[in-house]
Amino acid sequence: MASLGVNIDHVANVRQARRTVEPDPVRYALLAELGGADGITVHLREDRRHIQDRDVDLLRATVQSRLNLEMAATAEMEAIALRVKPDMVTLVPEKRQEVTTEGGLDVTSQRDHLRGLVDRLQGAGMGVSLFVDADPLQLEACKATGARWVELHTGTYAEAPWDQQPLALARLAEGSFIARSLGLRVNAGHGLTYQNVEPVAAIEGMEELNIGHTIVARALAVGLQEAVREMRALVQNPRRDPLFGSQQP
């Protein structure tokens, strides 16, 4: 049964649109936890387009579940993580021009750099996850860095036309199988919605799904606590839709 990490970056997006003090993502993290979130996820970007340093500091002091800090693999972000010490660090690719994270981290091309970073973060007591596509070579490279988790990029599945979703889902299931056979623990996220989350939640070995935009959008209608409750129910009790066939590779 997978757990639910709620990404609150999009709350900060609304605040930064006016560069004011509301809505405060720290307060909304509390509402997400009251709604049943198993963890809170934030991405501190290098250009600080949404989440700010003060948010991360206050979240570390107030989050009662787990704090997952998404960040680029840079010296600046490493220093922040070592100071704040979130429960989990997820290393993600980052481009200034992108609206949101596009694709997984290319671990194969920067294995040595990532190995040192992973070692320092884990040595300081943080869990480390690498956000990657469900590609065997990338997963093998993740193992070589010493990281204990991977987060599978679900964007290709989420954006696929309905007739191509079964193949994209099968690739995720295969990726989960390969990762687990390498001794890696498996999370997933990106682009998941109330309509497409259940098949991913049903993949064997899936530990946590990190979901943000669709929950914040739903919260406009029903409030954040209820939006989190609804998503958590889908994640923890997913239907096995015959359309997608077996969830095993």
pLDDT in tens, 197-232: 999 999 999 999 999 999 999 999 999 999 999 999
Residue 248 lies in a domain: no
Residue 32 lies in a domain: yes
Residue 18 lies in a domain: yes
Q: How far is Cα 208 from Cα 38, in angstroms, rounded to an integer?
A: 9
For the ranges 91-95, 150-154, 203-207, the lowest mean pLDDT is seen at 91-95
Task: Please state the domain count of the chain.
Answer: 1
The conformational region for residue 83 under phi > 0 = left, psi -120 to 50 = alpha, else beta, is alpha
pLDDT at 14: 97
pLDDT at 243 over 90: no
Residue 200 lies in a domain: yes
pLDDT at 97 over 60: no
- Read off the CATH number of the domain in which 143 is found: 3.20.20.70
User: Could you give the count of Cα atoms lying within 13 Å of 216 in the half-sphere of its Cβ?
Assistant: 21
Instruction: Tell me if 154 sits within 8 A of 189, measured CB to CB.
Output: yes
Residue 245 lies in a domain: no
Residue 16 lies in a domain: yes
Handedness of CA 9, 233, 187, 103 (dihedral sign): negative
pLDDT at 246 over 50: no
Q: What are phi and psi of 19, to 5 degrees?
A: 50, 50
Residue 243 lies in a domain: no
Residue 241 lies in a domain: no
Q: Virtual CA dihedral for 5, 11, 13, 16, nearest 10 degrees?
A: -140
pLDDT in tens, 21-68: 999 999 999 999 999 999 999 999 999 999 999 999 999 999 999 999
- Residue 213 catalytic? no
Average pLDDT score over residue span 5-18: 97
pLDDT at 98: 53
- Residue 70 catalytic? yes
Catalytic residue among 10, 50, 153, 190: 190
Angle at 64 between CA 238 and CA 234, to 5 degrees: 10
pLDDT at 101: 55
pLDDT in tens, 115-135: 999 999 999 999 999 999 999
% of residues, the chain, pLDDT over 90: 91
Q: What is the DSSP string of 22-71?
A: -S-HHHHHHHHHHTT-SEEEEE--TT-SSS-HHHHHHHHHH-SS-EEEEE
pLDDT at 241: 59
pLDDT at 239: 83
Catalytic residue among 10, 33, 43, 151: 43
For the chain, the average pLDDT equals 94
Average pLDDT score over residue span 158-171: 96
Helix/strand/coil for 90: strand
pTM of the model: 0.93
Task: Please give the structure tokens belonging to residue 84.
Answer: 């704040």
Instruction: Tell me if 182 sits within 8 A of 151, measured CB to CB.
Output: no
pLDDT at 162 over 50: yes
User: Domain containing 67: what range?
Assistant: 3-236
Catalytic residue among 10, 33, 50, 70: 70
Average pLDDT score over residue span 2-23: 97
pLDDT at 165 over 50: yes
